[in-house]
Structure 1
Amino acid sequence: MPVNADKPHLWKPDIAQSVDFYNRWFMQFAPTAYRDTRIATTISVESALARTANLTNITPAVLRQHPEVLPILRMATAPPIARDRLIGLAGVSPNLVKNMEEKQRISPRMSSTLVDAELQKISQIIARLTDKDIFPWLENGLEPTDTQVHRAATIVADRLCGALADPIVRNAQERRQLATIRQWLEQRGYSYIRGGAGLSFQTMQPGTFSFRLNIPVSLQGGIKQVNIPIDTVIKPLQSSPSDLPLLIEAKSAGDYTNPNKRRKEEAIKVAQLRLNYGNNIRFILFLCGYFDSGYLGYEAAEGIDWVWEHRIDDLALFGV
């Protein structure tokens, strides 16, 4: 039996409470999360400046040795340039840039000669566009003071954090949501199991739970297998060993637009799970923030139920 999906008369009051809940959290904790990230980012920028001799030595050799500095260098230009814009301006391989920024490595399949040529193009674009107002020593030729370097690092860190503001808040919110679930479960006698190699959701013992567990599914008629990451997997205390656990996707939103843009993601995910493990698999959402009636109606029509964070005790209605 549905818990919340079949009660549209409760949706609007719950939406209002959830928005208030999210906004209170945001005003109290989001600035702290942003500030902590900004401090850590400033340290990373100062490290990148040191490795490039305060941007006076942006060479293929430096980029090859420290590919992780590339996102910082993009924010050191005037104007700051997006990743795709750098790829277009330099005329370099998107794969090389993505490897450097996402995996902090040089593309393993590219020849050394091609890598050096591509890194030379990137170096030239960065050097040409570097923001001389932030890094005045590049124009006057004087040795920068520690204060000047720190000031420049702070400005670049602000640019980086500005581009990452939404992910910073989203990651902090996700950590808080999972911590809330963990506290609720442990108060009721559940034991946390760390995910990793060897842990399968099908063999979890009653009274246990795990976070960020990958569940394998077959696609394209079994030709391809992929992992679906699940935020929280709970094996209820009263379940039998053969019962499948409850799967929970933690969702938070600071506006109404993005959830509605991405509402099909949960439907696709649960369809793949049902196709592989049958209609008995239970998948619900743990919601906090801006989820309107349009979003809720769509998920309900796809057979997806939910628990509001401000009413977390509803988890008990799912047999937890």
Structure 2
Amino acid sequence: MSVNADKPHLWKPDIAQSVDFYNNWFMQFAPQAYRDTRITTTQQVESALIFTANLTTITPTVLRQHPEVLPILRMATAPPIARDRLIGLAGVSTNLVKNMEEKQRTPPRLDSATLEAGLDKISQIITRLIDRDIFSWLESGQEPTDTDVNRAATIVADRLCGAISDPIIRNAQEQRQLAAIRQWLEQHGYSYISGETRLSFERMQPGTFAFRLNIPILLQGGTKQINIPIDVVVMPLQTRPGELPLLIEAKSAGDYTNPNKRRKEEAAKMAQLRSNYGNNVRFILFLCGYFDSGYLGYEAAEGIDWVWEHRIDDLALFGI
């Protein structure tokens, strides 16, 4: 039996309440999340300035020893340059830049001559495009003061945070949603299983729950196994033999566009889970923010139900 998916007469008032809930959270907590990230990022920029002798020594050796500085250096140019733009300007491989930025390393299998040539091209482009209005000591030749360095680091940190502001907010909102679910479950007698514990979702004990649990599935054809990450997995206190846990995907949205672009993802996840574990799989959404009737109707048609965060007690209606 559905809890919310079969009650379209309630959707519009719930949508309005959910939007208000999200907006109130955003106004109260999003600026602080952004400021906290900016402080951390400023410290990272200051470290990059130390490694590069305040941008006077941007060399292949520095980039090899500290590949993590590359995103910072991209934001220290005029104009700031995107990753793909740097790859094009420097004429280097995507593999080199992605390894440096995403894995904080140089490609382990790249031969030393090719690596050295690529790092040299990157250092030349960055050095040529450095924003000398921000790093004024490069123009004057004078030693920068601590104030000069901190001011420049803050500007670059703002640029970095501006480029990732949506992920910052998304991460803060996700943490808050999971905390709300955890609080509700623990108040109702459930015990949290930490991520360090090796855990099979089919063998969870009644009255336990876990976050970000990987569920293995075989793709169509049965030759390749992948893991599907699930935000919250809950084994009900009252569990019948062979019953699977409740799977919960926490979702938030600050506008109506993105959810509708990505609404097929949940349906695909549900289809993969059912093809591997049968029609008894219970997969629901935990929603906060901008999810309109079009989104809800699509998910309902795919057999996916949901709980609104502003009515979190509806979790009890799913047998937990």
Q: Same fold per TM (> 0.5)?
A: yes
Q: Tell me the alpha carbon deviations over residues 46-92 of structure 1, each in whole angstroms, 9 at most, x when there is no partner.
A: 00110010111111111111111001000000111111111111111
Give SS of 2:211's match. strand
| Correspondence for 1:189 | 189
Aligned residue identity for 1:15: I
The 2-side partners of 1:107 and 1:185 are apart by 44
Amino-acid identity (%): 82
8 Å Cα contact 1:206-1:240 kept in structure 2: no
| Correspondence for 1:107 | 107
Task: Quote how far apart the aligned CAs of 1:220 are.
Answer: 3.7
Task: Quote how far apart the aligned CAs of 1:223 are.
Answer: 1.7
Q: Which runs of 5+ in 2 are unaligned?
A: none
Matched, 1:164 2:164: yes
The 1-side partners of 2:241 and 2:71 are apart by 48
Aligned residue identity for 2:227: N
Task: Quote how far apart the aligned CAs of 1:290 are.
Answer: 0.3
Structure 1 residues 124 and 241, CA gap change in structure 2 (3 angstroms): farther
1:175-186 paired onto structure 2 within 5 Å: 175-186=175-186
Task: Quote how far apart the aligned CAs of 1:93 are.
Answer: 0.8
8 Å Cα contact 1:205-1:241 kept in structure 2: no
Give SS of 2:228's match. strand
Aligned residue identity for 2:97: V
Give SS of 1:288's match. strand
The 2-side partners of 1:23 and 1:286 are apart by 17
Matched, 1:254 2:258: no
Ranges of 4+ aligned residues in structure 1 off by more than 3 Å: none
Aligned residue identity for 1:318: F
8 Å Cα contact 1:203-1:241 kept in structure 2: no
| Correspondence for 1:319 | 319
| Correspondence for 1:152 | 152
Number of residue pairs aligned between Structure 1 and Structure 2: 320
The 2-side partners of 1:220 and 1:148 are apart by 58
Structure 1 residues 95 and 241, CA gap change in structure 2 (3 angstroms): farther
1:303-318 paired onto structure 2 within 5 Å: 303-318=303-318
Aligned residue identity for 1:85: R
Give SS of 1:287's match. strand
Q: What TM-score comes out, normalization by structure 1 length?
A: 0.99
The 2-side partners of 1:217 and 1:108 are apart by 31
| Correspondence for 1:122 | 122
The 2-side partners of 1:288 and 1:193 are apart by 25
The 2-side partners of 1:141 and 1:271 are apart by 63
| Correspondence for 2:207 | 207
Q: Which runs of 5+ in 1 are unaligned?
A: none
Give SS of 1:152's match. helix
Matched, 1:143 2:143: yes
1:24-173 paired onto structure 2 within 5 Å: 24-173=24-173
Q: What TM-score comes out, normalization by structure 2 length?
A: 0.99
Aligned residue identity for 2:242: S
Q: Tell me the alpha carbon deviations over residues 267-311 of structure 1, each in whole angstroms, 9 at most, x when there is no partner.
A: 111111111111110100000000000110111111111000000
